[in-house]
Amino acid sequence: MNHLVVVSHPREDSFTMNMMRTYVDAVAARGHDVVVRDLYRMNFNPVASYEDLYWIRDGLEAPKDVAVEHEHMRWAEVIAFFYPVWWISLPAMIKGYVDRVFTLGFTYGHSPQGVQGLLPGKKAIVFTSSGSTPEHFDESGKMNAVNTAIQLGTLEFCSFAMLAHKHFAPVGSRTKDGMVDSWVEDVHALVKEHF
């Protein structure tokens, strides 16, 4: 299978980046092909312009950097997102990627029956992290908010089949001994289960 990995974290040695590398190594070990789009290291511009949002309506070509991302997405059978949850949402880099790349006419369109996803047959898997405890994240409704934004409001809206959403918590000062090793095992288990 072809995996497009979209990752966002400003620190290259971060937990997010390390989990992404774990995933890439695991799927590659199973014979899959992987392309990583490291939004910070590639200096991705997350700011959606008029051209980004209306190129298809105006009969134009997609902006060059967006067209490159579209080609990666066409190639991919699976898209994997890796990012920390900031303010119960996608960080600006991931949100900007979605705003600029998941565009009308490419990932979704309108039909007489309503909005229609244009990328059927594609799968998605999401890996997020936060400093909050899992119990607090669930009980406060924050996990539902995160799932609504990425799963329901983005991926399933565009007809991706959602494979899994693994949330790592608490990451940071409250991470206890053994947690990271357990989370690495979780990534390997998800790869084995789905691929």
For every residue of 140-167, DSSP letters joined together read TTHHHHHHIIIIIIIIITTTPEEEEEEE
- Among residues of the chain, what percentage have pLDDT more than 90? 85
pLDDT tens digit sequence for 118-167: 999 999 999 999 999 889 889 999 899 999 999 999 999 999 999 999 99
Instruction: Tell me the CATH number for domain 2-194.
Output: 3.40.50.360
pLDDT for the residue 56: 85
Is 107:50 a contact under the CB 8 Å cutoff?
no
- Distance CA(158)–CA(179), nearest Å, equals 34
Domain locations along the chain: 2-194
Backbone angles phi, psi at 192, to 5 degrees: -65, -40
| Number of alpha carbons in the 13 Å side-chain half-sphere of residue 105 | 14
pLDDT for the residue 92: 96
Tens-level pLDDT at each residue, the chain (195 residues):
999 999 999 999 999 999 999 999 999 999 999 999 999 999 999 999 999 988 888 889 999 999 999 999 999 999 999 999 999 999 999 999 999 999 999 999 999 999 999 999 999 999 999 999 889 889 999 899 999 999 999 999 999 999 999 999 999 878 888 989 999 999 999 999 999
pLDDT for the residue 63: 95
pLDDT for the residue 148: 92
pLDDT for the residue 175: 82
